[in-house]
Amino acid sequence: KTAVKAMDVFKGYKVVVVTHTSGFREPNTQEFTDEARKAVEKKGGIILTTTHAFGGIHRALSTAMPPPPSSAVGDVVANTLRIFGQGMKVACEIAAMAADAGLVRTDEEIVCIGGTGRGADTAVVLQADYVHRFFNMRVKEVICKPRF
């Protein structure tokens, strides 16, 4: 719902929609429906479905060999960003994912929107960087985020 609405709100801008990975909730499924995919693409949006930057292989290890390692780097980064809200974590993570895919530049500022499964609630201006250079990312401005 959010992605399709964003296409109308940000008409005339480059919009990159980052989805959950396939199999995120259930094996062999993709949460982002074919109907939503077609609607976004028809309006000129770009869709990226890829491994989550903070998940990666350590998520597979923590699932296969409980208890999960509490010091897994991706979890530490994700939980630190969650201090500012789930939307901040998502915005930073998807910016790195889009940079890795070559869909956003690392030498330009972008507006990145994140949130929860209930919708978008956070918007930031940031300069993205690749996952392997994540700590060079810069959040330049917080446009909005929920108050806790």
Query: Is the model's pLDDT at 56 over the cut of 60?
Result: yes
Structural domains of the chain in order of their starting residue, each with its CATH number = 2-144 (3.40.1380.20)
> Which residue, among 59, 60, 35, 29, has the nearest Cα to 47 in the 3D structure?
35
pLDDT of residue 117: 84
What is d(CA 63, CA 48) in angstroms, rounded to the nearest whole number? 25
DSSP 8-state code for residue 72: -
Query: Is the model's pLDDT at 100 over the cut of 70?
Result: yes
pLDDT of residue 82: 96
The answer to whether residues 110 and 103 touch, using CB atoms and an 8 Å cutoff, is: no
> Model confidence over 102-116: pLDDT tens digits?
999 999 999 999 999
Which are the contacts of 13, defined by CB distance < 8 A and separation ≥ 6?
none
